[in-house]
Amino acid sequence: MTLGRLALGVAAAWGAYAWGAHVVTPACVWRGDRARRRVALTFDDGPDPAWTPRVLDLLRERRVPGSFFLVGERAARAPETVRRMAAEGHEVASHGWSHRSLWLCGPWRTGEEIGRTHALLTALAGSEPRHFRPPWGMVNAAMFGALRRHGERCVFWSIQPEGLRSAPPDLQVRHVLRRAHAGAIVDLHDAEGTPGAPERVLAALPAMIDGLRDAGYDPVTVTALLG
């Protein structure tokens, strides 16, 4: 009986720490200003040594700024790519150090995931990251305090053409263009979470960008979208 009550207590505490924290997520950023026809193309999980430079090449050709939510340990292995992002006018933002779900991180580990990445990206980009996206979209109660300490805001998305299930490039383009709206934050992936994701997003981007512009949308960074 005692062990059963202890187990129930632990489960309740974990539920409040992880699941319960999602009650606060409506206060996070999900979209930008509804009055202006602007959208933010955001990229998660990088930098990937092979695919992220190709995404940057394409964005440079199309003169489109992106917002890159970077995994700290991957950024540490590709410092020149991070510096290039900043130099070319893209936003460098945080996706945590290891891409570990915050549901599996206690308060100390959560602070490390956020703080260590914040310090690295500040050193590489030359300015502090202002935004954080939790891996897998999962938050915990300790995240909010850690973000406040580092001056970061939690940013989710309003359009996600590919999540855990792969989607071919043409379907991703149709998904984004059909759901496009003023202030949209589009969640894309320039590194593998879902196998093959960066190759598909690279194939989808030209038609996606052209379609958004043809519909009167101006691609901007998340910071510009919220400014």
* Joined tokens for residue 68: 């890159």
Cβ neighbour number for residue 175 with a 10 Å cutoff? 18
Is 187 catalytic? The answer is no
Cα separation, 36 vs 176, in Å, equals: 17
Q: Which of 118, 150, 175, 189 is catalytic?
A: 189
Residue whose entry in the numeric block shows the structure tokens 């410092």? 79
Nearest to 70 by CA among 7, 107, 125: 125
Distance spanning both ends of the chain, measured CA to CA? 56
User: Residue 125: phi, psi to the nearest 5?
Assistant: -90, -20
Cα separation, 193 vs 82, in Å, equals: 19
Contact in structure between 90 and 70 (CB atoms under 8 Å)? no
Q: Which of 33, 44, 118, 181 is catalytic?
A: 44
Which of helix, strand or coil describes residue 127?
A: coil
* Helices assigned H by DSSP within the chain: 2-17, 51-62, 72-77, 79-87, 107-125, 141-150, 169-179, 197-214, 222-226
Rg (CA), the chain: 18
Is 33 catalytic? The answer is no
Residues belonging to the active site: 44, 189
